[in-house]
Amino acid sequence: MTTLARGLDTLTRDALAVLQPGFTGTTAPDWVLRRLGEGLGSVGIFGRNIASSEQLAALTAQLRAEREDLLVAIDEEGGDVTRLEVRTGSSFPGNLALGAVDDTALTQAVAREMGRRLAACGVNLDWAPSADVNSNPDNPVIGVRAFGADPQLVARHTAAYIRGLQGAGVAACTKHFPGHGDTAVDSHHAMPRIDADLDTLTARELIPFRAAVAAGTKAVMSAHILVPALDSALPATLSPAALHGLLRAPVSEGGLGFEGLIVTDGMEMRAISAAYGIERGSVLAIAAGADAICVGGGLSDEDTVVRLRDALVAAVRAGELPEARLADAAARVRALGDWARQSGGPGAAEGIAPAPEAGLRAARRALRVTPGDQPYEPPTGPAFVAAFTPMANIAVGDETPWGVAAELARLLPGTGTATYGQRDAEGAEGAEGAVDGATGGVPALIANVLGKAADRRIVAVVRDVHRHPWMADALDTLLAARPDTVVVEMGVPQAPPTGALHIATHGAARVCGLAAAEVITGGVAGG
């Protein structure tokens, strides 16, 4: 184990302690190991750091050899947002699927198995679950990441998820406080705003977070959203009123009474970085009551760590940030590190019986299958999958595969697939091109689908079709031409069911695709 570097003052160590940076590579860079010796208390793991479970376990062991109480954090929600299985798709359905089943014992079991796998890899802090109430169906960034649109349902499943995850020795970080569900803007790109009054927030957004605190969540992640009912000027991540005045305040004073670690959402997200810069934003966040600065999804270099460390130190020395506040934040990081060292790790995983089929069973139970007007006849030969694909949000990323094509091809060898996006529907240059005389836009797209499918059964895969007019138009045109088309909705099933068979999976995880493929071919459902 590296001996802590001498000559660094307490202030500098505290500034390093509150950072949760990322890095590149599947082994730890020298600069990360050196900073751990200087006081860095956390690191974030992303898909770029993971090649396999065995490699991740070796990486976390390498890191922990430098600091036993290190927090190794990951953004592993399951479902659409996965880092452990970023290149294959998740073995677990996401929150909306679990909410659709509405079996809290199942949610707890799924989270416990996820926690077991994380602990076995040496990960001890999960930036999950999302406790957002998806009250706005047009939300571009939450959607299937929420358990649903009913606050009480979200609350009971948030609590169950926390119990499962922390029962496996992995600290939960409930997000995105005070609630990102009623937004129409993605905070990765700009500043969302929620104009609900305080009574509405209390009766909707805050209910799951109160349940999370009652369930003992070890951490809460703040959201980069402006909520004028709490603070008319500053987003929640930077707002003393939101963090100190609401999240930390005693229940007797109308607060949530949370005593654990407050973690910011990624500070490089444009809702913060474009308006404040990451240095100023980090200072304001710690001053407001945050304890840990998450940065590293987009910025993953030593210079970022040095810049933020120096900005915090300079702010204390300039009287802009109370030294006691920084010391308190660093102490909370170290306290959670101590809990994780005693409760988590591979030892905790060894004490839990593996449940490798938990995710698939949940995905099967989450399916909602609606037959068309005529009796459904499963295909007996190869099918053709037309995937109508929206642009992925940054939280999900575009490297994780989704859909049913791969799983259907295993069940129906010879199944083909093609992907179509908004550019194809609008007839933009570079679209796949027209056949059968179609001249552009949606007619050309559908002519392309029909030409490639030939006499094979068509399976149309969509994602949040209610949010994408081009996708709805394409689906309507396809169904007019081929009424026997199967429709698989892998987002929020807001639009009315259509097709010879309509399957709502409530998420796009690999297991959701497998469960849908089984039903398409006349197989298992209900798990």
Q: Which of 496, 482, 478, 488 is nearest to 517 (CA)?
A: 488
Residue 299 sits at the vertex; the CA angle it makes with 128 and 94, to the nearest 5 degrees, is: 25
DSSP string, 119-146: HHTT--EE---B------TT-SSSGGGS
Amino acid identity at 111: A
3-state secondary structure of 173: strand
> Any idea which residues carry the catalytic annotation?
188, 265
Report yes or no: 204 and 153 within 8 Å, Cβ to Cβ. Answer: no
Q: For residues 209 and 432, give the distance between their C-alpha atoms in angstroms, rounded to a whole number.
A: 46
Which residues are CB-neighbours of 351 under 8 A, at least 6 positions away?
none
> Per residue in 329-342, is it b (16+ CB within 10 Å) or e — as a string?
bbebbbbbbebbbe
Alpha helix stretches (DSSP H) within 215-344: 240-242, 270-273, 278-288, 302-317, 323-343
**What stretch of H or E contains 486?**
strand 486-489
Residue 41, classified by CB atoms within 10 Å of its CB into exposed (0-12), middle (13-18) or buried (19+), is: buried
* CA distance linking residue 316 with residue 319, whole number of Å: 5
Dihedral class, residue 437 (left if φ above 0, else alpha if ψ from -120 to 50, else beta): left
**CA–CA distances in Å: residue 229 to residues 170, 191, 202, 336:** 34, 16, 11, 31
| 316 Cβ neighbours under 8 A, 6+ residues apart | 11, 15, 322, 323, 326
> Using an 8 Å Cβ cutoff, are 96 and 148 in contact?
yes
Burial class (CB within 10 angstroms; exposed 0-12, middle 13-18, buried 19+) of 3:
exposed
Return the structure tokens found at 51.
């090649």
Quote the CA–CA distance of 16 and 310 in Å, as a whole number.
9
- Fill in the amino acid letter for 205: E
Alpha carbon distance 225, 378 (integer Å)? 46
Tokens (6 digits) for 445: 């797209």
Rounded to whole angstroms, the Cα distance separating 478 from 221 reads: 43
